[in-house]
Amino acid sequence: MKEKAACLESPLPAVAVRRPRHTQTNEGPRTLLPGLVLSVVLAVAGIGIGKIAWFSGHGLSGLTVAIVLGMLAGNTIYPRIAHSSGPGVHFSRQTLLRAGVVLFGLRLTLQDIGHVGVAAVLVDALMLSSTFLLSWLLGTRLFKMERNTAMLVGAGSAICGAAAVMATEPVVRGRAEEVTVAVSTVVVFGTLSIFLYPLLYKLNLHWGFLPAGANAFGIYAGSTIHEVAQVVAAARSVSPDAANTAVITKMVRVIMLAPFLVGLSAWLARDAARRQAGTGARSTKARLAIPWFAFGFLGVVILNSLGILPQRMLDMATGLDTLLLAMAMASLGLSTHRSALKKAGIKPLLLATVLFCWLVAGGAVVNSTVMHWVR
């Protein structure tokens, strides 16, 4: 099976450059150009580096490299040019991100669901919901973290890594440093998965905890590893069949991003109304921040499932999508200062560690149980 690209694969806090509100609604092409040029240069460099064998072999896609390059530039040269590049960087991080999420639907089809069966879909749904709920509960109650940070870390672990983090940010209205911290946890534990899962496959041959066979292990890998690139790298070490099944299972998990965002937005609006009522303040209708780009994403998936788009058009569109997402990742890195990461402390890493253990151990239990029930 033709390999599919990585899942959207990955304001300055203290020294953030915030534009006056009126400039955000009157941005002309000339105002945006410096920041867009900077973002595209970093994006192209990240994509190029991500194609190097060592990086691709370790599941580090061009999108992940782009955010690292953005952070390096953001903490060195960017503060000197932020006054002129800020509008374009902000545009890349907001508007281009949403466009990239919509176009990402061209990599998926509804037929993917049929390829892995009901068991894989059920496993994906259970792992997504349980991982995100666990992150929210532990993050806010045990680790006493800000709710946004806990949700962003949970989204990255539960769905599709950096892409899910960035797609969730507009819904929870997270800050740039919160997004970067969440993306960092995805990189750390997703990379660890690349080396751990082939070992788990060999151990399973002796323990028999999961159903035997490469396809069953592929469902396990696709339902529990963070990024698609990391899924490919880990499952390819097992067998081509395991890699094919793992990627399709992962893509089904990605499709669940759209209903997840809509459900999260509705829950946040309801929670805001409840909190307002609890304070005794005058009741006002809670604002539902509908993530319209999630519907665009799902619509593009349906369009692609019809099989009416020429392959050449699909190739061009997916190439453009990769560039847009890399620009968004690079601009995110530019907007994040090292002091923000230091301020976040060790709590997000501890939370991500617990989630990783759940994905590995709890995911094995969920996979084994569901596959026993659904034959």
Average pLDDT over residues 322-331: 88
As a whole number of angstroms, the distance between CA 222 and CA 252 comes to: 9
Kindly report the backbone phi and psi dihedral angles of residue 81, in degrees, each rounded to the nearest multiple of 5, phi listed first: -120, 10
Q: For residue 189, count other CB atoms closer than 10 A to its CB.
A: 24
In a domain, 165, yes or no: yes
Q: Is the pLDDT of residue 56 over 80?
A: no
Residue 335: C-alpha distances to residues 66, 181, 211, 318 (Å): 13, 12, 46, 26
Residue 256 DSSP label: T
Q: What is the mean pLDDT of residues 54-63?
A: 75
Report the domain count for the chain: 1
- Cβ–Cβ under 8 Å, residues 186 and 33: no
The amino acid sitting at 158 is A
- Residues 360 and 224 sit within 8 Å (Cβ to Cβ): yes
14 within domain boundaries: no
Write down the pLDDT at residue 209.
Answer: 81
Tokens 């599941």, located at residue = 59
Question: Comparing 15-19, 102-106, 141-145, which segment has the lowest mean pLDDT?
Answer: 15-19
Please report the sign of the dihedral spanned by the C-alpha atoms of residue 261, residue 267, residue 271, residue 277. Answer: positive
Structure tokens at 340: 């923000």
Answer yes or no: pTM beyond 0.85.
no
Whether residue 281 is contained in a domain is answered as no
Is pLDDT above 70 for 18?
no
Q: Give the pLDDT score at 340.
A: 61
Per-residue pLDDT band at 357 (split at 50, 70, 90): very high
Residue 109 has pLDDT above 90, yes or no: no
User: What Å distances lie between residue 31 and 26, 37, 54, 336, CA to CA?
Assistant: 9, 11, 38, 21
Tell me the C-alpha to C-alpha distance, in Å, between residue 289 and each of 13, 101, 168, 169: 24, 17, 11, 12
Mean pLDDT for 270-278 is 78
CB atoms within 10 A of CB 14: 9
Determine, yes or no, domain membership for 187. Answer: yes
- The reply to whether 122 falls in a domain is yes
Average confidence (pLDDT) over 141-167: 90
How sure is the predictor about 367, in pLDDT bands with cuts at 50, 70 and 90?
A: very high
Residue of 120 and 12 predicted with greater confidence: 120
Kindly tell me if the per-residue pLDDT of 23 is higher than 50: no
Q: Which residue has the higher pLDDT, 37 or 338?
A: 37
Q: Say whether pLDDT at 278 is over 70.
A: no
Rounded to 5 degrees, φ, ψ at 251 are -65, -35
**Alpha carbon distance 294, 284 (integer Å):** 26
302 is a domain residue: yes
Q: Is 196 exposed, middle or buried (0-12, 13-18, 19+ CB in 10 A)?
A: middle
CB 231 within 8 A of CB 221: yes
Please give the DSSP secondary-structure letter assigned to residue 369: H
3 within domain boundaries: no
Question: Comparing 12-16, 162-166, 210-214, which segment has the lowest mean pLDDT?
Answer: 12-16
Q: Is the pLDDT of residue 240 over 70?
A: yes
Q: Residue 46 falls within a domain, yes or no?
A: yes
Q: Quick one: average pLDDT of 204-213?
A: 81
Say what the pLDDT of residue 344 is. Answer: 66
pLDDT of residue 341: 63
pLDDT digits (tens, 9 = 90+) for 163-194: 788 889 888 888 878 888 888 888 788 878 88
Question: Range of 148's domain?
Answer: 35-275+288-373
Closest to 322 in 3D by CA, of 233, 235, 244, 229: 229
The whole-number pLDDT of residue 279 equals 66
Average pLDDT, the chain: 83
Long-range contacts for 56-59 (Cβ within 8 Å, ≥24 apart)?
56/229, 56/233, 57/233, 58/191, 58/194, 58/233, 59/190, 59/191, 59/194, 59/227, 59/229, 59/230, 59/232, 59/233, 59/234
